[in-house]
Amino acid sequence: MTERPGPAAIKSAERSIDRPGALARRYGNQAGSGAYDLFVPSGSGHGPRPLVVMLHGCSQTARDFAIGTRMDRLAEEQGV
């Protein structure tokens, strides 16, 4: 059995100015890498939290998708 590669170092963890609570991150392994945004609601505290995964397509960015759907606002309200 071969050991699975671990995640690459996070290259950025910048907070978005127009999306407070959103962190720009990057994941990578031997197959390649990709950028993603992680929204962390305020007052999230410790312990398990629900995770919502949203996939955008084509030329849309994660930022455009989140702003267009207002998902950050809903995630903040629901604490996810």
- Count CB-CB contacts under 10 A for residue 21: 16
pLDDT by 10s per residue, the chain, length 80? 444 444 444 444 556 656 778 888 889 999 999 888 888 888 767 778 888 898 887 788 888 888 889 998 999 998 88
- Residue 7 has phi, psi (to 5 degrees) of -65, 145
Domain residue limits, the chain: 14-43+50-78
Task: Please indicate, yes or no, whether the overall pTM of this predicted structure exceeds 0.75.
Answer: no
CB 35 within 8 A of CB 24: yes
Between CA 13 and CA 77 the distance in angstroms is 23
Strands 22-29 and 32-39: antiparallel
